[in-house]
Amino acid sequence: MRVKELMEIAVKSGEILLKSGAEIYRVEDTIIRIFGAYGVQCESFVLLSGIFLSAEGEDGQVVTLVKRIKGHTIDLSRIELVNSFSRNLQENPLEYDDAKKALHTIENRHRYSFPTRLAVAGANAFVYTLIFKGNAYEGLVALLISLLIYAIKEKISEIGFFQFFEFFVSGLIAGALSFSASMLFPSLNLYKVIIGAIMILVPGVAITNGIKDALYGDTVSSLYRISEALFISVAVGSGVALALTVGFNLT
């Protein structure tokens, strides 16, 4: 495989990893593994917003490639598939077309269906309400609110609004519906319902990966992830606070 083709395969692998929420060290390690499988040395520098890669071409000239990365989500199964792909290359190096086809399959694999993701979101809310010492009725209310939040959040995401607005609206809905439920059923604990309902919005993976990036010395990416998680938390909290403020002032 030519160096330019190898760079394309390595960068595409890194792009899939970054967009799926992988840590910086994992992306750099995967790129180096792919080059190593073909006996080529490379230098890679990865940030959450881009991949910078250089290697020596067949003519002795240094070939450089920069790839801008936009959009991040969490997809652990894609990360696992790319990891397996890079490790399998070390034992069985593929031709360019076969490697490109394998990455295309990974990138375009179908996620879990919407009903499945919706059911998991609801179950998540119910379980966390119980963990925070809520009862089954509060868990059920949180489950129903979480289902609506997830569905609306997915629609907003499809439209393409910026992330802060997406989480702010989700927090606003969680606060408004939880407050309304507590007014209709005074025995419900408002705050336990809110906690359960918003757990699907908590950026736990982003915080964890931000800490891991810091431990591996990737300070810039660490600060980026933690800042992003902080903004998400502020957006959700602002939405909930606004809903509760309006609700308490009207009653």
**Same-domain pairing of 132 and 230:** yes
What is the extent of the structural domain holding 210?
114-250
pLDDT number for residue 62: 82
Q: Give the closest residue to 151 by CA, choosing from 106, 189, 104, 200.
A: 200
**Same-domain pairing of 88 and 124:** no
91-123: per-residue pLDDT in tens?
A: 888 888 899 999 999 988 877 788 888 898 999
pLDDT number for residue 110: 73
Tokens standing for residue 100 = 């490109």
* Max CA distance (Å), the chain: 77
The last residue of one of the domains, among 85, 107, 129, is 107
CA angle 87, 96, 38 (to 5 degrees): 50
Four-point Cα dihedral 222, 77, 13, 225, nearest 10 = -10
Q: What is the pTM of this model?
A: 0.79
**Same-domain pairing of 118 and 103:** no
The last residue of one of the domains, among 107, 128, 150, is 107
Q: Chain-wide mean pLDDT for the chain?
A: 88
**Same-domain pairing of 86 and 131:** no
The last residue of one of the domains, among 75, 107, 139, is 107
**Same-domain pairing of 136 and 93:** no
> In the chain, which stretches have pLDDT less than 70?
160-161
**Same-domain pairing of 40 and 134:** no
**Same-domain pairing of 186 and 214:** yes
Beta bridge partners of 68: 50
**Same-domain pairing of 176 and 217:** yes
pLDDT number for residue 10: 92
Dihedral over Cα of 142, 145, 151, 155: its sign = negative
Dihedral over Cα of 161, 167, 168, 174: its sign = positive
Domain count, the chain: 2
The span from the CA of 111 to the CA of 98, in Å, is 23
**Same-domain pairing of 161 and 73:** no
Lay out the sheet containing 62-68: strands in order across.
Answer: 42-47, 50-56, 62-68
215-240: per-residue pLDDT in tens?
A: 888 888 888 888 888 988 899 999 99
